Structure 1
Amino acid sequence: MKNEVKEAGKMWKVLESVYLYKDNWLTARKDRVLLPNGNQIPSFYILEYPTWINVLAVTKDRKYIFVRQYRHGIQEVRYELCAGVCDPTDASPMEAAKRELSEETGYGKG
């Protein structure tokens, strides 16, 4: 898809990037960009995250597996998909998904 966008001449040219915040979980960046039509956007904000996986797990009897977790941002407990960051030790995103599913739900251990 990225190559298709490049070929169509629709890529934005980054004129300047400034990192506003960096830590292990979130990076915030402000880019000044030039659009293909010649217009500039002086402040286009981007949030960068580590490589992340979500798992839609289904049992043999067609039941979906969710985790129940407290989310501080909304101060509520919610049901959600199993998810997590791919660790450097994970051989692939699939291995990360299997690890997260096992850690969070106990499924997939065998």
Structure 2
Amino acid sequence: MSRLEEKTLKTEKLFSGSVISLQIEDVELPNGKTSKREIIKHPGAVAVLALTDDNKIVMVEQYRKALEKTIVEIPAGKLEKGEDPLECAKRELEEETGYGCAEMEWLISFYTSPGFADEIVHLYIAKELKTVENAASMDEDEFVNLMEVTLEEAIELVRNQKIYDAKTAYAVQYLQLQGALKK
């Protein structure tokens, strides 16, 4: 055990839903004292930075009930149990945008809120997009508006808080950094 690690003494599951579960853990702290941790368990997710041949970013506008507002995001979705992240990314891209791609590459994986959740997002970049005939349909409770924006328009969407989630802001910053490195 590292000098920072917390040892789990007891786990109590409070809720188990279709997307998340919530548990409370009694832990022993590095100094020997005890504390409680509220932890959300999540199966993980993927996000896709999809670029058109003219370097526009494919995004979706979607109402997010937890925020009580509509925001603009890159295509993304939850991993199904045992699902390969790359296959999930291809599926989500097709379901949310109607696009497939000739090339999809993993960029990075990151935790969204490590203070209380174990959700990890695997970010991919998709290029050489093509429209998929008879594309897989979105989940029946999912409604989106498809958008294609330039990097400059995406930066403005971040500034005016229409892009307001970490995975999409991360993707936009990735593109900004790539441009800065090429100059």
Q: Structure 1-normalised TM-score?
A: 0.80
Please report how far the alpha carbon of residue 34 of structure 1 lies from its aligned counterpart in structure 2 after TM superposition. 0.6
8 A contact 2:43–2:80 mirrored in 1: no
1:48-107 deviations in Å (ceiling 9; x for gaps): 1122112222223221111111112222221112111122474x2011001100100112
- The correspondence for 1:64, drawn from 57, 73, 78, is 57
Q: Secondary structure at the match of 1:28?
A: strand
Q: 1:89 to 1:29 in 2, by over 3 A?
A: closer
Letter in 2 for 1:32: D
Give the corresponding residue for 2:45: 52
2:66 aligned with 1:73, yes or no? yes
More helix per residue: 2
Distance (whole Å) between structure 2 residues aligned to residue 51 and residue 74 of structure 1: 20
Give the corresponding residue for 1:104: 96
Distance (whole Å) between structure 2 residues aligned to residue 79 and residue 102 of structure 1: 17
Q: 1:86 to 1:13 in 2, by over 3 A?
A: same
Q: Secondary structure at the match of 2:96?
A: helix
Distance (whole Å) between structure 2 residues aligned to residue 93 and residue 58 of structure 1: 19
Please report how far the alpha carbon of residue 47 of structure 1 lies from its aligned counterpart in structure 2 after TM superposition. 0.6
Q: Structure 2-normalised TM-score?
A: 0.51
User: Structure with the greater relative contact order (CA < 8 A, sep ≥ 6): 1 or 2?
Assistant: 2
Distance (whole Å) between structure 2 residues aligned to residue 57 and residue 12 of structure 1: 39
| Long gaps (5+) in structure 2 | 102-129, 131-183
Alignment of 1:18-97 (within 5 A): 18-41=12-35, 43-88=36-81, 90=83, 92-97=84-89
Q: 1:68 to 1:93 in 2, by over 3 A?
A: same
1:2-49 deviations in Å (ceiling 9; x for gaps): xxxx5x4422100111001111111000001011121211x2100111
Give the corresponding residue for 1:17: 11
| Long gaps (5+) in structure 1 | 1-5
**Aligned-pair Cα RMSD in Å:** 1.8
- Percent sequence identity is 35
